[in-house]
Structures are given as C-alpha cells and as structure tokens.
Amino acid sequence: MSNPEIASEREITDRAVSSFAHTPDARLRFVLQKLVAHLHRFASEVELSDAEWSKAIEFLTATGQKCDDVVRQEFILLSDVLGLSMLVDAIEHRNGVEATESTVFGPFYIAGMPYREYGENMALVPGSASLITGHVRDAAGNPLPGATLDVWQTAENGQYSGQDITQPHGNLRGRYRTDELGRYAIRSVVPVSYPIPTDGPVGQLLQAAGRHPWRPAHLHFMLDAPGHRRLVTHVFNDDDPYIESDAVFGVKDSLRAVYQPCRAGDPLAEQFDIGTDFRHASFDFTLETAA
C-alpha cells in the first residue's frame, strides 16, 4: 500500500509546480518549475525539519543584510563557496572554443576605475613590486589593439580597496588598453593569498563545515574588445600554497603564471622605470569571437 503521508507530500509538490504552468515566459516557466521540483525533492530527501528550515531562513536573511551597494556581495560569496558560481561558468562555456578560460567574477569589483597608461603602476601604496606583461589576441592568433583590460587585486594585507577604507580610492585597480601590437603591461605589487570575508553568514558556514576560507594569490581581469566575447578571469600565482584548495574552486591550470625575480638594473626595469627589484609574470589572453 502507498504511504498516504508521502502521497500528500507529492501532491503539495505537484500543486506548487503546476501553479507556474501559465507563466507567460517559457524559459522562466521552465526554470521555476524545475526549481520548485528540485527544492521539494531535496527537502523530502533530507527530511528537513521546521527548526532547520527556520535556521535556513535566518541564514539567507542575514546573507542579504550583509550585502551593500558598493563592495560587499554576500550572496556572490555564498554562490562561490558552494561551487555554484564555477558550475554556472562551466555551463556557460561549454562550446569548446580555443580561448582563455574564464573563472569566477568575485564580489569585490568596482566599476568605473581610471584608465591607466601602458605600464603605469596601479599600486598607490608601497609593496613588493611586480610587472605583468603579455598579448591579447583573437582565436586565430591576430593581435587585438585597443582591447580593454579591467584589473583589480588585493593589497598585501589581503584586502581590496573599497573593502579596506584605509586604502586610497582606486588602489590596485585600473583599466588598461593594449597597444597597436596587442600588448599590455601592468605595474603593481605581487598578489598575495587571502581569506574571503569570514565576518558574515558565509564565514559561519565555512567554520561549521570545517573548511578554510583562503584563496590563492591572483589578479582579476575583465577583458573587452569589439566583436569579441567579454572574458572574466584570474591569473594565479603558480607557487601559492592554496593553489590546489581554493575556497571558491576557481583555479584552472591554464590560468597559472610564474612570477620570476628580476633586478633593478634589468632591461624591463629600465623600460618601465622600476627602480627596485621586482617580480615579472608573462601571460597571454585569447578572446572568443562574439556570437
């Protein structure tokens, strides 16, 4: 005999799914019905209790309250640590086109940062000097002059400007353009590994799960060029101790770069007016043609 309680639960799910049957937008209808069906199936599978669901509501409420309009986006952070951001990224890039791989956007981007000259230093506070250079090309290997690279990273204290109010506005942020040969050059400080913010609900979740909050050192890039698909990605320090255990699952082997030690008198130091020892990384980007 069928269990009447389980039958009742299925009836609730069926009625909830059916309630969206007349949603005008077909894609929205499909997504909502699948979402409801999967949520109900999850609740039944784990036998979710009233107390647990109340705690979940409290957690999601606190997550929203931790967000602001400028820097902090706790829901992105939650999506990142659950691996959902990287899963969506993988789904979005299933086409197998030969282009630089993408990764998570992250919660600390600030739009409208200043344009900087070729080789200009975006570090407004002292730190371990670095230089990263390379090319931006299309899938056929042709240079893309005038491509824009929107770049951001943490300071040596592991915090981004905007997140850390002691840093000058725009510190370690900037927009660069490639030259006529598709080359770019960015002076900065050597990226460092850092913990994602743990002072909110996501930090509490990681602590409860026994997971560390650390991200390997990286530079964020968002690249745009006319006629090409926008690329959001990172360049990771190859030797970082967290390269194999990124808290947000964002590392891809193709995005790793080696920062080589250079001396103050090296040709690169003279070319870019670097008056101290520094580290240099080289990384080339390939952009996909827009659909």
Same structural domain for residues 106 and 10?
Answer: no
Same structural domain for residues 96 and 220?
Answer: yes
Helices (H) and strands (E) in the chain, counts: 7, 12
Same structural domain for residues 94 and 161?
Answer: yes
Same structural domain for residues 273 and 191?
Answer: yes
Confidence of residue 1 (pLDDT cuts 50, 70, 90): very low
DSSP state of 92: H
User: Residue 2 sits in which domain range?
Assistant: 1-48
Mean pLDDT of the chain: 94
Same structural domain for residues 8 and 89?
Answer: no
Domain contains 55: no
Same structural domain for residues 30 and 90?
Answer: no
Burial class (CB in 10 A: 0-12, 13-18, 19+), 239: exposed
pLDDT for 3 equals: 59
Q: What is the pLDDT of residues 60-100, one digit of tens each?
A: 999 999 998 777 889 999 999 999 999 999 998 887 668 99
The pTM for the full model equals 0.88
Q: What is the pLDDT of residues 197-239, one digit of tens each?
A: 999 999 999 999 999 999 999 999 999 999 999 999 999 999 9
Domain contains 57: no
Q: How much of the chain is in helix, strand and coil states, percent to nearest 5?
A: 30, 20, 50
Same structural domain for residues 113 and 194?
Answer: yes
Q: What is the pLDDT of residues 251-270, one digit of tens each?
A: 999 999 999 999 998 999 99
Same structural domain for residues 272 and 200?
Answer: yes
